[in-house]
């Protein structure tokens, strides 16, 4: 069975079984599995599991301690619940994120969705927090499970930061502004000789340190900015005119510096800065390698595979990688005999019937 690259990393430490819920036998097997489960997570179409008799209403009767989590993009109820195609890309567009990402129209830009499955990741993280909360509540208070719903689009709505403040105060819509920031100048990714460099200078101390750094190489550029009366007050620097002048000047300095040269010079003045790294550079980045965030697993099925490790360090509960995503159904012959007592003959029969 072929396995996608994304699947390898997202399904780490998980056992892989198959179960055809479109069959009556498949649904009966799920009921048996759920009878002793702590958590069930599903993302079928809204109402589908209820229609099959395996929704929270039905399963919680057999297992009152069950925590049942539905994940999707817009939810199981509401006017759009039955619209087709409510998947990750449409969720990014529906929540306001895509409109606010990318270069402005005047720069030739268009709304730009995240290259990563951001709604799935943010929505999934939200679901995990909800499940952990429900587990704690069950163990400490109720002794019973509950139904949880977490969606990708609505999770990103939550983190759309000051878009809501803008619109709530005067009805204005925060526009796209590319790598520039509408509230801070300087706070952007800037071109240099061999790529791009992030520079942050949102207050006077950092602002003048940036131009002091630039002035060591190009005093003419430092004077151009520092002597401009319109740039002396921090709130005046966020106008479009001010940002165009500022970043034009910084780019003029950047064209004579590599990422490392520019970063070293800025850091010598304690200015927040860092190069935009390619993935091959991340894999060899000394800091991440030292902390163990990029590693190689010698997997029994796939051989050596490069992966990003857990972002969490925990003294008492350290994360560990046992295996990466397994082929579909790889663990059928372990899970079903162990949890339901099925024999090899039972599994062969279910396989022939298309149940597993």
Q: Are 53 and 27 in contact, with CB atoms under 8 Å apart? A: yes
Whether residue 235 sits in one domain with residue 341: no
What's the DSSP call for residue 110? Answer: -
Whether residue 224 sits in one domain with residue 198: yes
- Please report, for the domain that includes residue 39, its CATH number: 3.40.50.10540
Structure tokens at 328: 């579909």
Whether residue 305 sits in one domain with residue 266: no
Whether residue 236 sits in one domain with residue 100: no
pLDDT band at 1 (very low <50, low <70, confident <90, very high): low
pLDDT at position 354, please?
96
Whether residue 321 sits in one domain with residue 214: no
Give the C-alpha separation, 342 to 29, whole Å: 11
Give the C-alpha separation, 105 to 131, whole Å: 41
Strand ranges across the sheet with 147-151: 39-42, 67-72, 147-151
Task: Identify the domain boundary among 249, 276, 303.
Answer: 276
Listing DSSP states for 174-227 in one string gives PPP-TTS-SS-SSEEEEEETTEEEEEE--SHHHHHHHHHHHHHH-HHHHHHHHT
Question: How would you class 350 by CB atoms within 10 Å of its CB: exposed for 0-12, middle for 13-18, buried for 19 or more?
Answer: buried
Would the pLDDT of 338 be above 60?
yes
pLDDT band at 13 (very low <50, low <70, confident <90, very high): very high
Q: Are 59 and 66 in contact, with CB atoms under 8 Å apart? A: yes
Whether residue 213 sits in one domain with residue 166: no
Whether residue 206 sits in one domain with residue 83: no
Q: Is residue 6 part of a domain?
A: no
For residue 196, give its domain range.
Answer: 187-276
Whether residue 329 sits in one domain with residue 211: no
Read off φ and ψ for residue 190, nearest 5 degrees: -125, 145
- The predicted-structure confidence for 179-188, as pLDDT tens digits, reads as follows 888 889 999 9
Give the C-alpha separation, 141 to 268, whole Å: 54
Residue 330 backbone class (left: φ over 0; alpha: ψ -120 to 50; beta: rest): alpha
Q: Is residue 4 part of a domain?
A: no
Q: Which residues contact residue 200 at a Cβ distance below 8 angstroms, ignoring those fewer than 6 apart?
A: 184, 186, 187, 206, 271, 272, 273
Q: Is residue 7 part of a domain?
A: no
Listing DSSP states for 266-293 in one string gives HHHTT-EEEE---HHHHHT-HHHHHHT-
Whether residue 205 sits in one domain with residue 97: no
- This prediction has a pTM of 0.89
Q: Is residue 12 part of a domain?
A: no
pLDDT at position 182, please?
87
Which residue's entry shows tokens 């998980």? Answer: 14
Structure tokens at 35: 């009878």
Whether residue 148 sits in one domain with residue 29: yes
Mean pLDDT throughout 297-316? Answer: 92
Whether residue 239 sits in one domain with residue 116: no
Q: Is residue 36 part of a domain?
A: yes
- The predicted-structure confidence for 42-76, as pLDDT tens digits, reads as follows 999 999 999 999 999 999 999 999 999 999 988 88
Q: Is residue 69 part of a domain?
A: yes
- Please report, for the domain that includes residue 242, its CATH number: 3.30.1540.10
Residue (of 104, 259, 111, 250) closest to 181 by Cα position: 104
Whether residue 304 sits in one domain with residue 251: no
Task: Identify the domain boundary among 119, 153, 178.
Answer: 178
* Signed CA dihedral, 298, 299, 305, 307: sign only: negative
Q: Is residue 85 part of a domain?
A: yes
The domain total for the chain is 3
Terminal-to-terminal C-alpha distance of the chain: 14
Please give the share of the chain, as a percent, with pLDDT higher than 90: 79
- The predicted-structure confidence for 97-139, as pLDDT tens digits, reads as follows 999 899 988 888 999 999 888 999 999 999 999 999 999 999 9
Task: Identify the domain boundary among 157, 178, 199.
Answer: 178
Give the C-alpha separation, 152 to 72, whole Å: 6
């Amino acid at each position: 069975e072929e396995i996608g690259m994304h699947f390898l990393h997202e399904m780490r430490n998980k056992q892989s079984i198959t179960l055809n819920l479109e069959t009556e036998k498949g649904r009966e097997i799920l009921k048996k599995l759920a009878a002793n489960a702590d958590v069930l997570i599903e993302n079928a179409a809204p109402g589908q599991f209820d229609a099959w008799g395996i929704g929270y209403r039905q399963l919680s009767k057999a297992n009152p301690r069950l925590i049942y989590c539905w994940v999707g993009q817009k939810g199981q109820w509401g006017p759009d619940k039955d619209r087709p195609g409510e998947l990750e890309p449409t969720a990014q567009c529906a929540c306001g994120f895509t409109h606010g990402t990318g270069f402005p129209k005047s720069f030739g830009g268009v709304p730009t969705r995240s290259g990563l499955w951001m709604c799935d990741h943010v929505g999934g993280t939200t679901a995990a927090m909800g499940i952990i909360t429900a587990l704690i509540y069950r163990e400490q208070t109720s002794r019973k499970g509950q139904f949880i719903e977490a969606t990708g689009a609505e999770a990103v709505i939550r983190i759309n930061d000051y878009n809501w403040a803008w619109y709530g105060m005067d009805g204005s819509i925060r526009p796209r502004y590319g790598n520039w920031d509408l509230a801070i100048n300087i706070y952007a990714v800037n071109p240099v000789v061999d790529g791009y460099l992030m520079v942050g200078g949102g207050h006077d101390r950092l602002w003048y340190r940036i131009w002091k750094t630039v002035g060591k190489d190009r005093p003419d550029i430092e004077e151009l900015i520092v002597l401009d009366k319109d740039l002396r007050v921090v709130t005046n620097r966020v106008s479009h005119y001010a940002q165009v002048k500022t970043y034009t000047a910084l780019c003029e300095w950047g064209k004579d510096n590599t990422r490392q040269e520019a970063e070293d010079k800025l850091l010598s003045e304690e200015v927040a800065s860092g190069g935009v790294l390619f993935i091959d550079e991340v894999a060899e980045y000394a800091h991440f390698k030292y902390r163990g965030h990029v590693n190689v697993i010698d997997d029994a099925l796939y051989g050596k595979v490069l992966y990003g490790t857990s972002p969490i360090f925990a003294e008492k509960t350290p994360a560990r990688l046992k295996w990466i995503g397994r082929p579909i159904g790889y663990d059928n012959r372990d899970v079903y005999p162990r949890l339901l007592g099925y024999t090899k003959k039972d599994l062969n029969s279910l396989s022939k019937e298309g149940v597993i």
